[in-house]
Amino acid sequence: MITTLKTAEYWREQLQLQPHVEGGAFRETYRSSWVLHKSTLPPGMKGNRNAATCIYFLLEAGQFSAFHRIMADEIWHFYDGEPLSIYEIDSDGRLTVHKLGRNLHLGEQLQVVVTAGNWFASRLDTDAGFALVGCSVAPGFDFEDFELAQRKKLQALYPQHKELIFSLTRED
C-alpha cells in the first residue's frame, strides 16, 4: 500500500466533489470554449460538443464506477491514493484490464485511454483507501453521449464476463 498524507475526505472537501451517477464523486474542472459542430463529429454524437472536458474523480474502497460507455475517448490520469483497475470491454467482447497507479515497475500506468464506445467500469485494487484520478474527454463529455449499463442486457451481450458485469453494475 502507498502511504499518502491526504485522505478521501480531504480531497472531497478541497476539490468540492459531488456524487456521480456511475459511482464515486467528481467535479468538472474544464470545458473548452471551442465548440465542434455536429457535422465534424463521429456518428452517434447527438449535437455540437465542446472540444474537450476534464473532471476530478474519486473512488473509495467499497465503491465502484459502474459499467457505462460514452461516445468519445476518455483519458484517465492518476493523481493520488491506491491503484485502480479499469475494466474495458470492446464490441467483440474482449476484456482489457488497465492498471492505473504510480507503481510503473508493477505494470501500472499514470495514464490510460478508454476507447470511445467501449463499455468500462473501475474499482480500487485494495480493500482500503481511495484513488483520486482525472478524466479528460475529447470531443468533450456530454450526458447525451452517456449510457449506464443495464446488468442483464450487458450480461446477455457478453456472457463470458457475466460475473464481472454482475459485480460492476447496479440492479436493473
Closest among 123, 105, 126 to 64, alpha carbons compared: 123
Is residue 3 one of the residues assigned to a domain? Answer: no
Q: For 11-63, how does the pLDDT look when each residue is reduced to its tens digit (9 = 90+)?
A: 999 999 999 999 999 999 999 999 999 999 988 898 999 999 999 999 999 99
Q: Are residues 25 and 17 in contact, defined by beta-carbon separation less than 8 angstroms?
A: yes
How far apart CA 149 and CA 164 sit, in angstroms, is 13
Amino acid at 134: G
Residue 56: CA count within 13 A, CB half-sphere:
18
CATH of the domain at 62: 2.60.120.10
Is residue 172 in a domain?
A: no
Number of domains in the chain: 1
Q: Is the pTM of this model over 0.85?
A: yes
Nearest by Cα to 22 from 95, 116, 123: 123
